[in-house]
Structure 1
């Protein structure tokens, strides 16, 4: 009988195969880690863009042909004191107020007023968040962390945040969860200090310069009895009610303009000369604000075809957009 030959791997061959499998596994793990880090980096960038839109909206978007007015600044007239203001209010203040008021989650000495329309100025303003949509954690709290999951249990959820001199800067601690300072490792955006990090929001994103601002009013006479105004010409001005950069209601007036007697026939409408604002006019936060046409007299009557008597406190709304807007405005004022 012949001998049967045994076949199989030698010990050396087995070790070589195991070495190659381990090498491939290590390479695959390294590639996977790189992909995961890239995904967290991309998510951090995405969340910063969401944060920006929550603060100043996106005026490039349109609703029914007009710009979309949204964001914390448009509602509140100021930048958020911390990121928590984009998610929640603090405790309601007592005794209860109308409209309701709340402590700011950033600083309990700062008040957040709920969304309302002020009867004295016609301004619609107030907190109507959340401006960032996130699912609550297991403890019920909402937190907006970076893509790496960093969280220092502060009101900025692990982000480095500042809102100073009309500029918002935000920085992530990156994959190592540490703000590395001068020895930069992986903070995003890169910068030894927050003050040198590129701005997430700057003044051109949300401020409107009223110097040289100009526009026209369509006076619409709905009175069927006679042409208005009656008698002599009237001196008018346009008053704009707005929120300043601290969120307080203010007003500013245009240059005076004249409307001639009988200038608007009954059941008719007319545009008149361009209205301008003086060089002393302020720079103000964007949003939907209110306007009035007033008589330039001692009592500043609301104009209703004449300046003899004040009628109901009438307002019209006007959208103020940041630097991308044209420098002109148009709106309708009814003579009843």
Structure 2
């Protein structure tokens, strides 16, 4: 069993990564259904929360069926982080997570996300401000360092643990790499093997198959894995990994009917949460991922992304299920 404060997770938990414009409640619900052990909100700007920005406030929506769930915040100002931590605590997530890893320029320019990797003293002050402002466990997600010449994850892990951070997720790339190149998990293993480190260490970066998950579990000795991009359009990955760990065998691949069911549920839950119009429009970015690998699918994809009525969308999905029944994926 892995413990984060008073949260009890199974042995070697699989976590769903916080992903901007992806990890909303409908998507989290789908991943929970398919075996994710813990998940996080999309990251939320501390300044946006304080300004009462509607989009930021919506990201605070959490539901009992998805617990345990953490809300992730980012920012570069201590007062703003402290205040947003208090606001987050009012909706009673299971933990507060701080994003010190986002490499996107508009976040880094504000001295937030991975920008803080250049100033570990600031990272410590921001984290202390959050910890002081909440009774919830505080965790952190970060990267190896700013670039190859400034990998500082060893110092970061020790200093964060010393001030009370209760778990650390490490994306095994530097900020300079963005999402490209090789994710070097040897740095994560070194942190995990540091005798001073007692908090759970989760690894993140490039896990896209049960085989790789098992290899990295055995090779790097981490406490669990966080999965991001591999779950987009493929929530089955969580149960596939768990089954492979237990049996050494693969679950049957999801059929077209399984994919239609996932897309249908995702659409329904999106409309319930966002309202019909926004739910339909924001779902459009997901169809390609759900139906990836189906030949001659262009015509149906075009229909899915241009249709505005729910009943017509559901009818198109039903037709896809019938037309591609028994389809064998390459």
Please classify the TM superposition score into its range, dividing by the shorter chain length: under 0.3
- Greater Rg over alpha carbons, structure: 1
Query: TM-score, with normalisation over the residues of structure 1?
Result: 0.22
Q: TM-score scaled to structure 2, two decimals?
A: 0.23
Query: Hey, which of these two has a bigger chunk of helix by percent?
Result: 2
